[in-house]
Structure 1
Amino acid sequence: MEFKTDRLLIRPFNVNDLEDVFHIYHNEATCKYLLHEKWTDENKQEEFHNKLENNVLTKETALNLAVVSGNKVIGDLSVWYTEMEDTVEIGYSFSQEASGKGYATEAVRGLVERLFTSFDVHRIQANLDARNEASQKLCERIGMRKEAHFIQDFWNKGEWTDSIVYGMLYSDLDEKQV
């Protein structure tokens, strides 16, 4: 899957993206609410290899996409099928430098539209650490609805955390967005 938005190119990762992606995931603040710790010099090759391998969305494999502004990767979009029929979950991470410019909203909105129109997805969901207010706001900006808030249901990085689930159906897309 490759597509363009007004300002961005969304495409599978390639080998030249390693340092840009390392810049995103080597940041403590970026990784604060993710399931993994920040990348290190020792593990960056292995971690990045996984993103290179995830270049096609199937029922068995996840898809990772580079969000490119100019010639620099500023974000990472992830999508994978859940165990529920025709349902996918999305995830995203962006560099701190991209924050506040609308790039994440533009990229995730574009991804959601393509998942509904090109993959015949019935439902898209995002599961977040409840403390991640920026991610909650992003979900709401693209038209997702908050469907659940679970209290201390997830053990991550040595502590119990709350989870929030956002979801949307194709019918939730604003008619002007399609």
Structure 2
Amino acid sequence: MDIQLTSPRLIIRALAPGDLHAFAQYRALPEVALYQSWSHYSYQDACRLYENMNRQAFASVGHWFQLALIEQDTHTLIGDLAVFFIDKRQVEIGVTLAPEYQGRGLAGEAIYALLDYLFLELKKHRVTAVTDAGNQACSRLLKGIGFRQEAHFVDNIYFKGAWGSEYVFAMLASDWSRLRC
């Protein structure tokens, strides 16, 4: 997978085999898994994800890809961006950060760089993000970047033994052009 983006504090690149231990460690933390699709995350889970992802060319429709977020100063893996190519013009994204790196603006910085790439380089039309309605930090992040909340699905997903609600956020390429001016 050939992709490398930079932002003032981050290098955003393909997840590499050397990242998998750290990747699995922060994903295994209960506070990280709280709003994620997994409850327990292991090194074997990370290896399976990596193997499945690397069977496809980056930006293949119908596939998820994880991009490593590397802190430029320390070359430490601090989180990841998830990118799902819904079709040729639409993409869904997500972000996960290790707890010690949250609250510093790094997730927003990573998403800004990714949106530039998706809209300006890949010429995508629409980017969406779905979050648990209880994940207020993620909702604030997405709204702060300029995403529009388009839906609030109530009790739409049976998740970790209970019904959960989700918000859907979206941004169009035309929105991004206006925001960047």
Is 1:74 the counterpart of 2:78? The answer is yes
Q: TM-score, normalised by structure 2?
A: 0.89
1:151 aligns with 2:154: yes
Q: 1:59 to 1:43 in 2, by over 3 A?
A: closer
| Distance in 1 between residues matched to 2:86 and 2:43, nearest whole Å | 32
Aligned to 2:180, the other structure's residue is in SS state coil
Question: 2:20 touches 2:43 (CA, 8 Å); kept in 1?
Answer: no
SS in 1 for 2:35: coil
Shift of 1:23: 2.0
Identical pairs, percent: 29
Q: Does residue 100 of structure 1 match 2:110?
A: no
CA gap 1:104/1:20 in 2 versus in 1, 3 angstroms: same
> Over the residues paired in the alignment, what is the CA RMSD in angstroms?
2.0
Contact 1:62–1:78 at 8 Å: present in 2 too?
Answer: yes
Residue aligned with 1:154, SS = strand
List per-residue Cα deviations over 1:59-112 (Å, max 9, x = no partner): 1432210000021111110111225x6111101111001111111110011111
Per-residue CA deviations over 1:108-155 (Å, capped at 9, x if unaligned) read 111111100111111000111100111101111211011110110111
Q: Which residue of 2 aligns with 1:23?
A: 25
Gaps (5+ residues) in structure 1? none
- Distance in 2, Cα, partners of 1:51 & 1:73: 18
Count of aligned pairs between the two proteins: 177
Aligned with 1:63 (options 48, 62, 65): 65
Q: 1:161 aligns with which of 151, 161, 164?
A: 164
Asked whether the equivalents of residues 55 and 64 of structure 1 are also in contact (C-alpha less than 8 Å), the reply is no
Distance (Å, rounded) in 1 between the aligned partners of 2:139 and 2:70: 23
Structure 1 residues 19 and 41: alpha-carbon distance in aligned structure 2, compared to 1, 3 A threshold:
closer
Distance 2:55 2:78 in 1: 19
What displacement does 1:43 show? 3.9
**Cα distance between partner residues in 1 of 2:112 and 2:141:** 9
- Asked if 2 retains the 8 angstrom alpha-carbon contact of 1:13 and 1:55, the reply is no
* SS of aligned partner of 1:116: helix
Matches of 1:132 and 1:43, distance apart in 2: 24
Give yes or no for the alignment of 1:91 onto 2:90: no
Q: Is the 8 A contact 1:2 1:9 kept in 2?
A: yes
Q: Is residue 116 of structure 2 the alignment partner of residue 110 of structure 1?
A: no
Q: Which runs of 5+ in 2 are unaligned?
A: none
What is the distance in 1 between the residues matched to 2:5 and 2:56?
17
Q: Report the equivalent of 1:12.
A: 14
Cα 1:130/1:100, change in 2 over 3 Å: same
Residue identity matched to 1:45? C
- Measured in 1, the distance between the counterparts of 2:9 and 2:65 equals 21
Alpha-carbon separation, structure 1, partners of 2:30 and 2:102: 15
